[in-house]
Amino acid sequence: MIVLDASAVLAVIKRETGWEAVAAQANGSLLSASNLAEVVHKVVENGLDAGRVVEQIASLGITVMPATAHQAVRVGAWVFQAKELALSYADRFAAALAEDMSADLVTSDEALTKLRCGVRFIKFR
């Protein structure tokens, strides 16, 4: 199973370096709702339509998963690592979802790969 973080989804949407590798794994992958918020934030900020981006995510076969209370507790408990690594809430929710699903987490974020948790990180660039 694969979880995508916001950087992975944005790479596909914007056809950034490594997007093909992410697109090849997208069908059946998961995305945390908090990462969806980050993706929408970035694309709207760049003048794209939020609804169109959500449709594109769905057409790739990506399932958006709600954040849970259990994940929120872990995200909060990672506060010291988050400060040390400069990780956002969305980064940590992606890791928490991957941990819950025993999934690999696809990212381009080097700092996220240093989070000490039970997740295997796959860098796509």
Q: What is the pLDDT of residues 82-122, one digit of tens each?
A: 999 999 999 999 999 999 999 999 999 999 999 999 999 99
Q: Which residues contact 98 (CB under 8 A, 6 or more apart)?
A: 3, 104, 105, 119
SS3 assignment, position 65: strand
Domain segments of the chain: what residues? Answer: 2-123
Q: What is the pLDDT of residues 33-75, one digit of tens each?
A: 999 999 999 999 999 999 999 999 999 999 999 999 999 999 9
Which CATH architecture describes the domain 2-123?
Answer: 3-Layer(aba) Sandwich (3.40)
Identify which of 111, 120, 121, 106 has the alpha carbon closest to the alpha carbon of residue 86.
111
Identify which of 43, 77, 70 has the alpha carbon closest to the alpha carbon of residue 57.
43
Please give the pLDDT value at position 18: 96
Q: pTM (2 decimals)?
A: 0.94
